[in-house]
Structure 1
Amino acid sequence: MNNAGNDYGLWGLVVVNSLIFIGFAYSFFKPVNLRDWRSFGAYSAFIVALFAEMYGFPLTIYLLSGWLGSKFPGVNLFGHEAGHLWWLLTGRQGNPHFGVLHLLSFVFIFAGFTLLSKSWHVLYHAQRRHHLATAGPYRWVRHPQYIGFVAIMFGFLLQWPTLLTLAIFPVLVAMYVRLSITEERESEQAFGQAWLDYAAVTPRFTPKFGRNGARPVNSH
């Protein structure tokens, strides 16, 4: 196994990148209640685990080093490029940062943050008026903020998969589903028929486009 150079142990980058992406999400999400903090905390844990392996300690590389070393004997497994496992496992050459999956990951990450931003703006004004949020992204799905978090995490998995984040991801998705169900029960209690009318035409997570797509309803 070739480990001539080690690009890890950069814990300063772990802290800086974690703070940037957690802080960026916080500026859009603005947790208020316990449910908000649970969803935001789960996302934050994913981000810390991701960057800890990306720049700090490559746990996945160490655990798979025997198999990876025999399959790719000429590759420096502890160089940064080897951490792009999708690129490595498919035998691609060149700079992984220009690969299709890496570029696609930016699309998901950008879309996720954009969705968080637009959703929070709508939700903030709806809560101030004690109305049900049905405009903007809420016109198409009932939980756009949770979709935003999932899109961001999925984007990072496309560019830097690790055993830990791959294991965490489905657990977090399941948690967001459970939180959404709890949130819907509370919304039904708070808004009654307005919520039932909204939920009848607006999917929980998967938008319906076209003539039969979601329509805004009275949010009072």
Structure 2
Amino acid sequence: MADAAYGLWPLVVLNIALFVVFAMSFFRPHTNRDWRAMGAFAAFLVALFTEMYGIPLTIYLLGSWLGSRFPLLRDTHAGGHLWNDLIGWTGDPHLSPFHLASYLAIAGGFWLISAAWVRLHEAAREDRLATTGPYARVRHPQYDGFLLVMIGFLLQWPTIPTLIMFPILVVVYTRLARSEEREVARRFGEQWTAYAARVPAFLPRPRTTQDERSRR
């Protein structure tokens, strides 16, 4: 290989373990549904870091096809920042617009997971429906947080497997959310119905629209 950026399997294992533990410290899974959500995120991390430090499969596949058009697409660690390669970014890949945006998305995702967990824990302790904090904007902020972290990683280091996995994981989280909603609806009845009518599931409405709905 052109450098020693790949074949670093201890680094693959270390990064997967660090991010899984880090995510669990924010998400704190308890139920089987929580563990399925965490497992889906862990699978994404395995695919990501295997290519980031193990085997650059995407670079091999695309390099043979697009190498003549995109000379930066090579099997070095810098070459793994695919979006940078495709736009011809020659500066430090960690300072590219894609990478900087990824930092914001990853940090924002973990913050959202943590902030939502605090509100959910408070609501569970008081035996009420979580409707404050992030839950005032969307019904499933923790799933949104996981997806936002994944988007951040895709901005930073997109690969063919993770790009394929992402829409599948969107479906997985959507199904987990629907299952969760059925249980909450049975428990809280009309209170849940009213909440679900005014708060969207995943994508927040503009504040002006939501404020108008709350005044009706």
* TM-score when normalising by structure 2: 0.93
Higher relative contact order (CA 8 A, sep 6+): 1
Structure 1 residue 126 and structure 2 residue 126: aligned?
Answer: no
Matched letter for residue 62 of structure 2: L
* 1:100 CA displacement: 0.5
Q: Deviations over 1:121-143 (max 9, x none)?
A: 11112112221111110011000
- Comparing 58-67 with 142-151, which one deviates more in the overlay? 58-67
One-letter amino acid of the structure 1 residue matched with residue 66 of structure 2: L
CA distance in 1, matches of 2:127, 2:48: 38
Aligned to 1:173: 170
CA contact (8 A) 2:48 2:162 kept: yes
SS at match of 1:203: coil
Residues 59-97 of structure 1, C-alpha deviations (whole Å, 9 max, x = no match):
111222312333345x47121000001001111212111
Report if the CA contact (8 A) 1:4-1:76 is conserved: no
**In terms of mean alpha carbon deviation, does 140-149 or 54-63 score higher?**
54-63
Moved more, 5-14 or 102-111: 5-14
The correspondence for 1:135, drawn from 117, 132, 136, is 132
* Distance across 2 between alignment mates of 1:124 and 1:21: 22
Q: Which residue of 1 aligns with 2:25?
A: 27
The size of the alignment, in residue pairs, is: 213
Paired residue secondary structure (1:118) = helix
Contact 2:7–2:53, Cα closer than 8 Å, also in 1: yes
Distance 1:103 1:69 in 2: 25
Mean CA deviation greater in 176-185 or 64-73: 64-73
Structure having the larger proportion of residues in helix: 2
Amino acid in the other structure paired with 1:125: E
- Structure 1 position 30, deviation (Å): 1.1
Cα RMSD (Å): 1.6
Partner of 2:160: 163
Shift of 1:204: 0.7
Q: 2:52 aligns with which of 14, 38, 54?
A: 54
Q: Is the 8 A contact 2:73 2:80 kept in 1?
A: no
Counterpart code for 1:151 = L
Matching of residues 1-220 of structure 1 within 5 Å: 3-73=1-71, 75=72, 77-213=74-210
**Equivalent residues of 1:84, 1:161 under 8 A apart:** yes
**C-alpha distance in 1 between matches for 2:24 and 2:2:** 39
The answer (yes or no) to whether the contact 2:73–2:82 under 8 Å persists in 1 is no
Q: Check conservation: 1:138, 1:144, Cα contact below 8 A.
A: yes
Question: Shift of residue 6 of structure 1?
Answer: 4.2
**Cα deviation 1:29-49 (Å, max 9, x = unaligned):** 111111111111000110111
Structure 2 spans left out of the alignment, 5+ residues = none
Partner Cα distance (2:145, 2:206) in 1: 18
In structure 2, C-alpha distance between the alignment counterparts of 1:5 and 1:211, rounded to whole Å: 53
Unaligned ranges ≥5, structure 1: none
Is the contact made by 1:109 and 1:156 (CA closer than 8 Å) also made in structure 2?
yes
How many angstroms apart in 1 are the aligned matches of 2:100 and 2:73?
23
